[in-house]
């Protein structure tokens, strides 16, 4: 499954071994590696898809709640209408103190299209330009 994760911009609701998880990314700042953290929701995928009639993955955004944060469907990135009448809302099994049950680590290769001196710094690739110095490559 590690090969299927390249870059997530927002938390995402996914299936793993028949259970629902919120997966979020955490780039390492000192090396070109991204950790994908899988937080359990405590709900079987088959139950969710049968009752909500929705396919996975579903992009989420975090919203404040009484236990820290909940995750709610992000209608902008999913392409649904901005005012979804019944958006998907999930809560992690232990609320704000839930620990990741799985962590997948992906090493990011050096961008091929970028020529010259390149480095990984602060969670992103940078290239050296004579006039501007070190600049973000726009590739992750």
Domain match, 136 and 75 both? no
Domain that holds residue 118: 111-140
Residues 55, 17, 32, CA angle at the centre, nearest 5°?
90
pTM (two decimals): 0.74
Please state, rounded to an integer, the average pLDDT across all residues of the chain: 77
**What is the band of 6 on the pLDDT scale with cuts at 50, 70, 90?**
low
pLDDT of residue 114: 65
Domain match, 69 and 124 both? no
More confident residue, 71 or 108: 108
pLDDT of residue 1: 42
**What is the band of 7 on the pLDDT scale with cuts at 50, 70, 90?**
low
Domain match, 33 and 100 both? yes
Domain match, 32 and 94 both? yes
Span 125-139, mean pLDDT? 85
pLDDT of residue 103 exceeding 90, the answer is yes
Domain match, 64 and 15 both? yes
Domain match, 120 and 99 both? no
**Rounded alpha-carbon distances, angstroms, from residue 57 to 22, 37, 46, 112:** 10, 15, 13, 29
For residue 73 the two structure tokens come to 């469907």
Domain match, 75 and 46 both? yes
Nearest to 43 by CA among 33, 31, 54: 54
Domain match, 96 and 116 both? no
pLDDT of residue 47 exceeding 90, the answer is no
């Amino acid at each position: 499954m590690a090969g299927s994760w390249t870059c997530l911009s927002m938390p995402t609701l996914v299936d793993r071994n028949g259970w629902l998880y919120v997966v979020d990314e955490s780039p390492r700042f000192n090396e070109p590696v991204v950790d994908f953290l899988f937080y359990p929701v405590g709900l079987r995928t088959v139950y969710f898809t049968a009752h909500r009639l929705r396919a996975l993955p579903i992009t989420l955004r975090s919203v404040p709640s009484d236990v820290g944060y909940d995750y709610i469907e992000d209608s902008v990135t999913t392409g649904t209408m901005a005012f979804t009448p019944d958006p998907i809302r999930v809560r992690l099994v232990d609320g704000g103190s839930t620990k990741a049950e799985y962590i997948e680590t992906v090493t990011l290769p050096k961008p091929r299209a970028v020529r010259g001196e390149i480095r990984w710094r602060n969670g992103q690739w940078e290239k050296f330009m004579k006039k501007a110095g070190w600049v973000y490559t726009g590739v992750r």
